[in-house]
Amino acid sequence: DAGITQSPRHKVTETGTPVTLRCHQTENHRYMYWYRQDPGHGLRLIHYSYGVKDTDKGEVSDGYSVSRSKTEDFLLTLESATSSQTSVYFCAIRDGLNTEAFFGQGTRLTVV
C-alpha cells in the first residue's frame, strides 16, 4: 500500500471531544492529503500539505486542523467532534503535482 499507514483504523468518540488521526508514510513524498468519504459525496478534500509546516485548506476544512512537523507524518485533528464528522477518512500521498496519489486504508470515525 505504498508505505502509508493510518491510525487508528476505527474509532468511536463522543460529541465535543477532540480527536486526532494520524497518517504516516515511508515514501518521503512531498504532498499529503486528508479526505473524507461520505455516501453520495465521493471523496472531499479537507486539508493538504505541500511540505513540512506547509498546509492549506480544502473544500471542507471547517472544524478540522492539521499539522505536519516532519515529512512522514500528517495529523488531522477534529477540535470538537460533531456527529456530522462521522465519516471514513483517507490519507493520500504523492511525490509531485501531476502524478498519481496513493491512498491509505482509511479510518472509520463514529461520533456519538
Partner 1 sequence: GESVGLHLPTLSVQEGDNSIINCAYSNSASDYFIWYKQESGKGPQFIIDIRSNMDKRQGQRVTVLLNKTVKHLSLQIAATQPGDSAVYFCAENPVTGNQFYFGTGTSLTVIP
Cα gap 96→90, rounded to integer Å: 19
Q: In a 3-state reduction of DSSP, which class is residue 72?
A: coil
The grid coordinates listed for 69 are 512537523
- Counting Cα atoms < 13 Å in the Cβ hemisphere of 67 gives 7
Residue 27 makes contact with partner 1 by CB under 8 A:
no
Residue 1 makes contact with partner 1 by CB under 8 A:
yes
Contact track, partner 1, 35-74, x by CB under 8 A? x----xxxxxx--x-x-----x-xx---------------
Residues that bind partner 1 (CB under 8 A): 1, 31, 33, 35, 40-45, 48, 50, 56, 58-59, 90, 92, 97-98, 100-106
